[in-house]
Structure 1
């Protein structure tokens, strides 16, 4: 259960002001079908997180517990560091002519798979006996942010104070990453 809750919280925080939620808002406006975009986002996020968790199950047994903790610390530090930079506008996928379902699921999968959340999922899955919980937690946590973004649409989403939220969340990630790293190195 630790992996479920940790992935849920990490993904929910990481998605605030991130490109995945922004793309969901764009696609929701474009197709006028927020429920469809949300369903495809859930599918895309579960697939991306599932792949990350599967890789974590392969890597995890090869690492000592301190190395697993250090890897998680690195994932949190990278996610936190990235939050200090403004999110680039995601590709609007205007030239994609494959329909609403395929555009939403493929576009969101590609964006989510390259996201820092997947590194966090991988590291959490490497540390737990039930790695699928990390994937499920990250999917649900991401949807906590993506659902409102899709329902609000791009204009309303961008009116939110995303920049200060990203910076505050980045500080939280960096602090937790530093504490975990110092603990893994036995410096605290």
Structure 2
């Protein structure tokens, strides 16, 4: 249960600033079906997070506690770099003619594989309780996708998420460096 809350918080912060939420808002406006698009996006995020948790169950027995801490540190540092550098809008998927559910499901699933949340889920899952980490990240991702779908693209783009992205990037960088220094026993 201890992995649920950190995974929820990391996913909520990162999803607010990541491209899948904007894509969810774009698709909800395009199809006029925000609930359908939000559910599809939530399922896509859940699939990515549970795949990451499944991979962690195979990796964790081979890792030392310091290696697990170092993986979390690297996830936070790369997450910080991704937060500071992710300003480009996602593809609008205009050519996709699969309907609101499948377009959102496949589009968000493909887009989320390159984002930070599954990497955080993988890193947290190696520390133990991978299914709780996946559940926490999935719940937070669905909540953000739901809000993005209901608000729509115009409101989502106008939200002051740039500062949240910068502040979260700084916080992730500091936390990642701190955990990494401790994992390498440099303190």
TM class by smaller structure? over 0.9
- Paired residue for 2:107? 107
User: TM-score normalised to the size of structure 2?
Assistant: 0.97
CA positional deviation for 1:99: 1.3
For 1:86 and 1:107, locate their aligned partners in 2 and report how far apart those are by CA, in whole Å: 18
Q: Over aligned residues, Cα RMSD in angstroms? A: 1.0
- Paired residue for 1:37? 37
Map 1:43-82 → 2, pairs under 5 A: 43-82=43-82
Contact 2:54 2:130 (C-alpha < 8 Å) held by counterparts: yes
1:79-98 Cα distance to aligned partner (Å, 9 max, x none): 01111124211111110111
Map 1:159-178 → 2, pairs under 5 A: 159-178=158-177
Contact 1:12 1:143 (C-alpha < 8 Å) held by counterparts: no
For 1:86 and 1:51, locate their aligned partners in 2 and report how far apart those are by CA, in whole Å: 24
CA positional deviation for 1:114: 1.8
Map 1:13-32 → 2, pairs under 5 A: 13-32=13-32
Gaps in structure 2 of 5+ consecutive residues: none
Q: Secondary structure at the match of 2:85?
A: coil
For 2:186 and 2:41, locate their aligned partners in 1 and report how far apart those are by CA, in whole Å: 41
User: TM-score normalised to the size of structure 1?
Assistant: 0.96
CA positional deviation for 1:42: 1.4
Length, aligned pairs only = 187
Structure 1 runs (4+) greater than 3 angstroms displaced:
none
Q: Secondary structure at the match of 2:79?
A: helix
- Paired residue for 1:143? 142
Q: Secondary structure at the match of 2:17?
A: coil
